A and B are shown apart, each in its own frame.
Chain A
């Protein structure tokens, strides 16, 4: 079995002492920032990317991925014990998780969340092992026109599915594509949009933008919100779920995993949407829906397995096709690109140790989280009490210093500040930064394949509609926009009324 052979290679890579160490750092840091409200995985990954520069790519992606899925564990701890969702993906966990904690069953809720996450993570890993090679084999035979249309569809889908109006999302994505084109044109060597600046010749470093919008803009935003003080920390109680608890959670965990795995692969949806969907699905099919909201263990189990499954399967499109479905995935891909890895369908074939090492590390990381989290609850609760006004200066110093360490030039800091301020103002106008970031990553790829397709077709643009795959992707893009536009307008009208 080829996949098993590859997986063995992956475990060999992931269990090297160095990579185990990075995995541990990643998941611990992820748990930590998951607990802290206002500090999310996007910000943390943006902050740490400069540090990963020069590390072996597999170690860097193992650590950064650990932050991502570790955060969802941490988020659930804060949600259950103090009724504060540390991460948006844990919003629905608060509903029943905190009720359980108030009934003295906080420990059981935490245990079920951890077990559910672990089961979902393991199934997610298995799904990746099964699907990734098939998908990659399929994509590798795409013509440039097919691939360009696929990238276009991914761009449109993320732009359409994020919060805010469809037009704003698409506009931000296009703006990102243009910013991504700044620098030297890889095909002709001409410099574009550099205005003679040598600093811009190599293009705008993706991490400059990421730190700008996810650190600076995010900090300003959070400072403006009222600080939600953690209230009473509920007692944990015994962490051992009874047999009845386990029986009640078994099916919700599996259903949550299924919902999460599906939403994780789709562009624009991710852990947050899947946990909400899984929770409400569970409530709808429950024999007695009135129990939900009063400490129903099924609600915690389904939501927490869904967000973890989505976090895992989100790697499928990113790693097999080189197309990130969410901002976090775009950041991981950006980190890989900085370390000299070419994203795309050839990634698994060219760097098997990278892909399979990452997959294996996710399973190991989930195991670490399961073992680490429960005994350390006391420590995590203390961390919750650190006020944000002590955290943000440290985050800011870390971000600025990390960025400066890349090229040792102040220009990067000014540019980062520009994107931060601009990103904040645009976010206040309900233009989210996520499509923008994805546009920066996908822009150059889109241009490359678009140009290649046009060269092959000898300048005939009909190549994008005569290939049935390309046509399919373009039709799907139009459908996504048409389906989402009226739906969002209805929602906006309902909110305004």
Chain B
């Protein structure tokens, strides 16, 4: 165990602890708006408050554990490109499915998501759109009869 290891060398428990403590506090504060009741006659706020307090405690212990610095593993990197591209693809889908219909929404999702790792080739994109459209439309539209228009005019 390293003696010089300060809190900054081990930021992970601090971040995780802060997330837990913050969400616990948010739930706790919100739950105060509900009737807490007594142990005998529990209101809707009683149990959530209890769990939220526990979560805050776990968060604080987590932050405290950072100062012991027994683990020295740093933060793992975050794959921003795939994350943002995938998020954008789902957003495109949810907008298109009401605005333009099922066919456009599926195509939109496929096209956007292919940018997650690089620039896709035109041939690959078109081929994939056709295959995914055929599979998904035959299952959701023809087999299950999903009540979403194929094309919104």
Contacts of B135 in A (CB 8 A): 394, 398
* B148, A168: Cβ atoms closer than 8 Å: no
Is A450 part of the contact surface with B, judged by Cβ < 8 Å? yes
Contact call A177/B39, Cβ cutoff below 8 A: no
Q: A486 to chain B: closest CB distance in Å?
A: 10
Within 8 A of B (CB), among A343-359: none
Asked whether A410 is an interface residue with its Cβ less than 8 Å from the other chain, the reply is yes
* 0/1 string, B65-103, CB within 8 A of A gives 1: 100001111011111001100110111011101100010
* A400 and B42 in contact, given A178-B55, A193-B27 (Cβ under 8 angstroms): no
Is the CB–CB distance between A417 and B16 below 8 Å?
Answer: no
From A216, A417, A455, A492, B71 is in contact (CB under 8 Å) with A492
A171 contacts which chain B residues (CB < 8 A)? 16, 20, 55, 58-59, 62
B48 touches A426 (CB 8 A): no
Taking A171-B20, A393-B132, A396-B113 as contacts, is the C-beta distance between A51 and B55 under 8 angstroms? no
A339 to chain B, nearest CB (A): 16
* A181 sits at the interface (CB 8 A): yes
- Whether a CB of chain A sits under 8 angstroms from the CB of B138 is no
Q: Does B146 contact A (CB under 8 A)?
A: yes
Interface residues in B21-72 by Cβ distance below 8 A to A read 23-24, 27, 30-31, 34-35, 38-48, 51-52, 54-55, 58-59, 61-62, 65, 70-72
Central interface residue in B59, B79, B139, by most chain A CB within 10 Å: B79
Q: Which residue of A lies closest to B11 (CB)?
A: A429
Q: Confirm or deny: A11 has a beta carbon within 8 angstroms of a beta carbon on chain B.
A: no
Indicate if B15 sits at the interface (CB-CB under 8 A): yes
A223 to B70 alpha-carbon distance, docked (Å): 31
Q: A178-B51, A220-B86, A414-B94 are in contact. Are A397 and B136 (CB under 8 A)?
A: yes
Contact check, A413 vs B116: say whether CB atoms are below 8 A apart.
no
Q: Interface majority SS on A: helix, strand, loop or mixed? A: helix
Residue A185 at the B interface, CB < 8 A? yes
User: How many inter-chain residue pairs (CB < 8 Å) link A and B?
Assistant: 194
Contacts of B83 in A (CB 8 A): 220, 421, 424
Is A141 in the interface zone, CB < 8 Å from B? no
**With A and B bound together, what is the CA distance between A221 and B86 in angstroms?**
11
**Quick one: given A167-B61, A175-B23, A496-B71, are A396 and B86 in contact (CB under 8 Å)?**
yes
A224 to B83, CA, bound (A): 9
- The distance from the CB of B150 to the nearest CB of chain A, in whole angstroms, is 13
Interface hub of A223, A408, A410 (most chain B Cβ within 10 A): A223
Q: Is A242 an interface residue (CB 8 A)?
A: no
The answer to whether A493 and B16 have CB atoms under 8 Å apart is no
Residues in A whose Cβ lies below 8 Å from that of B77: 428
Q: Are the C-beta atoms of A417 and B79 separated by less than 8 Å?
A: no
Closest-by-CB residue of B relative to A178 is B27
Contact A220 B93 (CB under 8 A): no
* In the complex, A331 has a CB within 8 A of chain B: no
Chain B residues whose C-beta falls within 8 Å of the C-beta of A393 in the assembled complex: 89, 109-110, 113-114, 128, 132
Compute how far the CA of A389 lies from the CA of B132 in the bound complex, rounded to whole angstroms.
Answer: 13
- Which chain A positions have C-beta within 8 A of B52? 178
- Whether a CB of chain A sits under 8 angstroms from the CB of B104 is no
A177 and B51 alpha carbons, distance in the complex (Å): 8
| 1/0 contact string of A403-442 vs chain B (CB within 8 Å) | 0110010100110110011001110111100000000000
Is the beta-carbon distance between A451 and B47 smaller than 8 angstroms? yes
Report yes or no: A397 in contact with B110, Cβ–Cβ below 8 A: yes
B27 touches A404 (CB 8 A): no
B124: chain A residues at CB < 8 Å are 390
Alpha-carbon distance A429/B73, docked complex (angstroms): 11
Q: Which residues on the A side are within 8 Å of B94 (C-beta)?
A: 400, 404, 410, 413-414
Query: Are the CB atoms of A170 and B58 closer together than 8 Å?
Result: yes
Please tell me if the beta carbons of A405 and B40 are within 8 angstroms of each other in the complex. Answer: no
Is A401 within 8 A of B106, CB to CB? yes
How near does chain B come to A464, taking the closest CB pair, in angstroms?
12
Interface centre among B86, B87, B89, B93 (most CB of A within 10 A): B86
Q: Which residue of A lies closest to B21 (CB)?
A: A171
Produce 1/0 per residue, A157-192, CB < 8 A to B.
000000001011011001101100100010110101
Known: A171-B55, A461-B39. 17 other contacts (CB 8 A): A167-B62, A168-B62, A171-B62, A175-B55, A188-B44, A190-B43, A190-B44, A216-B90, A220-B86, A223-B116, A389-B117, A398-B135, A398-B136, A400-B90, A410-B94, A410-B97, A410-B98
Q: Which residues of B contact A (CB under 8 A)?
A: 1, 12-13, 15-16, 19-20, 23-24, 27, 30-31, 34-35, 38-48, 51-52, 54-55, 58-59, 61-62, 65, 70-73, 75-79, 82-83, 86-87, 89-91, 93-95, 97-98, 102, 106, 109-110, 113-114, 116-117, 124, 128, 131-132, 135-136, 139-140, 144, 146-148
Q: Show 26 residue pairs from A and B whose CB-CB distance is below 8 angstroms, ordered by the A residue.
A: A167-B58, A168-B16, A174-B54, A174-B58, A177-B51, A178-B23, A181-B51, A188-B44, A193-B31, A193-B48, A220-B79, A223-B116, A390-B128, A394-B128, A396-B86, A400-B94, A400-B109, A405-B146, A410-B98, A420-B90, A428-B77, A429-B19, A430-B16, A450-B47, A495-B73, A496-B71
